[in-house]
Amino acid sequence: MKGQVVLVSRLAARDLRRRPVESLMVLLVIAAAATTLTVAFALSGVTNQPYQQTRLATAGPDVIAVEGGGGGRGPAQPVSSAQLAATVASLTTAPGVTAHSGPYPTSLSVIRFRGHTVDVVAEGRDRAPASVDQPKVTQGGWIRPGAVVIERGFADALGVHVGDNVRLGGRSFRVAGIAVTAAVPPYPSSLCHIVCSFPVPRGSFGVPNMGLVWLTRSAVAGFAGSGSNIGYLLNLKLANPAQAPAFAAQHPGTFTWQSIQSAINALIGIEQVALAFGGWLIGLLALAGLGVLVGRRMTEQSKRVGLLKAVGATPMTVAGVLLFEHIALALAAATVGLVAGSLIAPLLTGTGAGLVGAPGAPSISVSTVIIIAVIALAVATVSSLVPAIRAARTSTVSALADAPRVPRRRPMLTAVSARLPVPLLLALRQLSRRPRRALLNAISIAVTVTGIVAILANYAHISSANLTISNLKVDRLNELTAIITVMLIILAAVNTTFIAWATAADGRFSSALERALGATAGQVTAGLSMAALLPALPGAIIGIPLGIEVYHLLGSGTPLTVPPAWQLAGVFLSTLLAVTVLTAIPSRLSARRPPARILQTE
């Protein structure tokens, strides 16, 4: 048994060394998919550390109560002093409440800075520090008369700095400082618990696109033209912060720190969806590429199988050698993917400007490692099992003779192709010899176009939102989708080139024969290119509606977004052009060899 294992591993290692380029391609294809999946899994484990740190640094509230402006309990209503006092008294004396700050007046206003006009929630504060929810100033100083402090995520998006002058409610304010808070999710997350009761327009993500600023109480009172444009925030500390949801359930109009944390995590959640989607697409591409790669290797190894069997190897040993090779490669690729993914993930998990503290390294848990390894192994096993069994079952004599498998006859296709121009005739006959490879090619293109169209639908959705200033959520999503697009395109290009190369290599004898019978090198080249282009055509066509539908399904709640027709046409035509260019090179190289030499050597 031990001898068998040593033999299998030795033979597999020798074969890998004998074909370094193909081994590298298998490694790269699986590693690309493993990297994307690692990033996706790592993001799902991103800790809530930054929010917790911010809570600690700002004495963040456990519960925030909103009074007035509706407070989430109905249409905007003016709040009388007595009503406010009663609410405050009721909440601050409730069981479990240990400290509070506020109530602080809030009002809706508009900030204007360097051509940007954005709605804001202005919160009136005291100059003295509060015991609960004292925003932490990260630049400049705290509020003073005539000066404003801007929430850091919002300041970053607006491009405003300490010392700048902004206009608020028609008045000029100097930016005294920039601060972070744990009482509201940082821009551009939802401030819904504060503002949704106000009649404000909803933005692209179904919530108002608003920033948060702090001013003196008197300044905020000045913005509140009418009684309905003023509300109050009351921050509460509980003895047991974990009980906040239970407290909120008993007191309508209150919100918990957990809900704020969820809103922050929602930002990362979009990234997770995008990455998981990209990861699966790339995984599918990897599977398609590997299917061709492994099938090709099996074809080439037919003679080797014969030799192994001739010297006494059992079918099990032969299958074992082939499987061992791909499993070794898959494990190496999974390792590369895990390392690359763990290096990339922190770049994507920056919490943005709205929180303090580092996000912490995304956790690559044991389960992540196991899942990635299992997926990589599954990809390698699935794509090599059938050819391995086939190779093991091949009779020794026919394997030694290296007799090519007789392709399945497709009389309809043959008859139809006879009526077509020579390049199409050659292409269709080439396709009829390797229908599964054509299917994998079509899947590869369909997956790529699906991904690109979904990303275009995302861009179309974002641009339809007419954002007035830079939006962190949108920016990060754009960055991610750009990375996924690049990875998809690279992997699809590798697949297409490889499929074209494999088609040219496997078809070199028939191509040489066709040339001997009178086909020109140009016709053979065009035929090989078309053999790649023909499956790409339905792949690209199917990918367009699939991409639109996939985006619709992923972005639950988003309306069906169709990218502009010119973009879809561009994707379709660029795909076909790219396939033509990528396949032209291996096809042309293959057709350059004198047919006599190929006929002699086969």
Partner 1 sequence: MISMRPVLRASGLCKTFGSEAALVRAVDGVDLDVATGETVAIMGPSGCGKSTLLHLLGGLERPSAGEIELAGKPVTDSSERALAHLRRSAVGFVFQGFYLMDELTAIENVELPGLLAGRSPRAARARARELLEQVGRADRAEFLPSALSGGQRQRVAIARALINRPMIVLADEPTGNLDSTATVEVLRLFEALHESGQTLVIVTHEQRVAATADRLISMRDGVFVDEMRMTGGSRGDLGQLIGLGGE
* Contact region with partner 1 (CB under 8 A), list: 26-34, 96-104, 249-257, 417-425: 417-425
Question: Does the footprint of partner 1 cover residue 599 (CB under 8 A)?
Answer: yes
Q: State the minimum distance, in angstroms, from the CB of residue 452 to partner 1.
A: 36
Distance in Å, CB of 397 to partner 1, minimum: 16
**Beta-carbon count within 10 A of 297 CB:** 21
Site string for partner 1, 426-455 (x = CB under 8 A): ---x--xx----------------------
Q: How far apart are CA 324 and CA 208, in angstroms?
A: 56
Window 102-121: residues binding partner 1 (CB under 8 A): none
* DSSP string computed for 208-249: --EEEEEEEHHHHHHH--SGGG-EEEEEEEESSGGGHHHHHH
CB of 504 to partner 1, least distance (A): 17
**What is the size of the binding site for partner 1 (CB under 8 A)?**
32
Q: How many helices (H) and strands (E) in the chain? A: 21, 10
Between 280 and 509, whose beta carbon lies closer to partner 1? Answer: 509
Residue 104 near residue 233 (C-beta atoms within 8 A): yes
Tokens standing for residue 45? 């484990």
CB of 467 vs partner 1, minimal distance in Å: 57
Q: Is 404 left (phi over 0), alpha (psi -120 to 50) or beta?
A: beta
Which range of residues in 66-74, 208-216, 304-312, 416-424 is near partner 1 by CB under 8 A? 416-424
What is the x/- site pattern for partner 1, positions 551-590, by CB under 8 A?
Answer: ----------------------------------------
Asked if 504 and 511 touch (Cβ cutoff 8 Å), the reply is yes
Report the candidate in 131, 102, 100, 97 with the shortest Cα–Cα distance to residue 240. 97
Compute the least distance from the CB of residue 533 to partner 1, in Å.
20
Binds partner 1 by CB under 8 A, chosen from 170, 350, 407, 564? 407
Q: Which residue has the tokens 């001997």?
A: 516
| Residues whose CB is less than 8 angstroms from the CB of residue 355 and which lie 6 or more positions away in sequence, other chains included | 50, 51, 53, 54, 180, 186, 264
- Between 296 and 429, CB nearer to partner 1: 429
Q: Is 448 helix (H, G, I), strand (E, B) or coil?
A: helix
Which of 343, 577, 589, 596 is the binder for partner 1 (CB under 8 A)? 596
Of 1, 366, 517, 565, which one interacts with partner 1 (CB under 8 A)? Answer: 517
Q: Which of 245, 522, 545, 564 binds partner 1 (CB under 8 A)?
A: 522
Least distance (Å) between residue 395 CB and partner 1: 16
3-state SS string for 72-122 = CCCCCCCCCHHHHHHHHHHHHCCCCEEEEEEEEEEEEEEEEECCEEEEEEE
- For the purposes of burial, counting CB atoms within 10 Å of the CB of 14, is it exposed (0-12), middle (13-18) or buried (19 or more)? exposed
Q: Dihedrals φ, ψ of 425, to 5°?
A: -60, -50
Contact region with partner 1 (CB under 8 A), list: 127-135, 191-199, 425-433, 460-468: 425-433
* Contact between residue 532 and residue 441 where contact means Cβ atoms under 8 Å apart: yes
Whole-angstrom Cα distance, residue 164 to residue 173? 8
Residue 461: CB atoms within 10 Å: 20
CB of 506 to partner 1, least distance (A): 13
Q: Which of 410, 439, 505, 585 binds partner 1 (CB under 8 A)?
A: 410
Of residues 448 and 523, the one with the C-beta less far from partner 1? 523
Listed residue (455, 313, 496, 327) closest to 396, CA to CA: 313
> In the structure encoding, which two tokens stand for residue 486, read together?
């690049």
Residue 414 sits in the site that holds partner 1 (CB under 8 A): yes
Which residue in 419, 466, 557, 559 binds partner 1 (CB under 8 A)?
419
Q: How many CA atoms lie within 13 A of 427 on its CB side?
A: 24
Which of residues 82 and 406 has its CB atom nearest to partner 1 in the complex?
406
Q: Least CB distance from residue 382 to partner 1, whole Å?
A: 27
Q: Which of 136, 461, 473, 515 binds partner 1 (CB under 8 A)?
A: 515
| Residue 510 lies near partner 1 (rule: CB under 8 A) | yes
Contact 449, 544 (CB under 8 A): yes
| Alpha-carbon distance values, 348 to 363, 553, 555 (Å) | 13, 24, 20
Query: Shortest gap between Cβ of 587 and partner 1 (angstroms)?
Result: 15
Closest distance to partner 1 from the beta carbon of 419 (Å): 5
**Which region among 96-104, 332-340, 379-387, 399-407 touches partner 1 (by CB under 8 A)?**
399-407
- Sketch the per residue contact string, 333 through 372, with partner 1: x for CB under 8 A, - otherwise: ----------------------------------------
Which residue number, 202 or 303, has a Cβ lying nearer to partner 1? 303
CB neighbours of residue 316 within 10 Å: 11
- Which of 425, 442, 469, 548 forms a contact with partner 1 (CB under 8 A)? 425
Q: How far apart are CA 508 and CA 596, in angstroms?
A: 11
* 516 contributes a contact to partner 1 by CB under 8 A: yes
Could you give the C-alpha distances from 45 to 107, 351, 364, 374, in angstroms and in order? 37, 14, 8, 19
**519 near partner 1, rule: CB under 8 A:** yes
Q: Which is nearer to partner 1, 127 or 597 (CB)?
A: 597
Please identify which residue in 75, 201, 311, 409 interacts with partner 1, judged by CB under 8 A. 409
Rule CB under 8 A: is residue 408 a binding residue for partner 1? yes
Using CB under 8 A as the binding rule, whether residue 378 contacts partner 1 is answered as no
Stretch that binds partner 1, among 15-23, 147-155, 507-515, 571-579 (CB under 8 A): 507-515
Tell me the C-alpha distance between 248 and 580, whole Å.
62
Residues at the interface with partner 1 (CB under 8 A): 404, 406-410, 414, 418-419, 422, 425, 429, 432-433, 510, 513-523, 594-597, 599-600
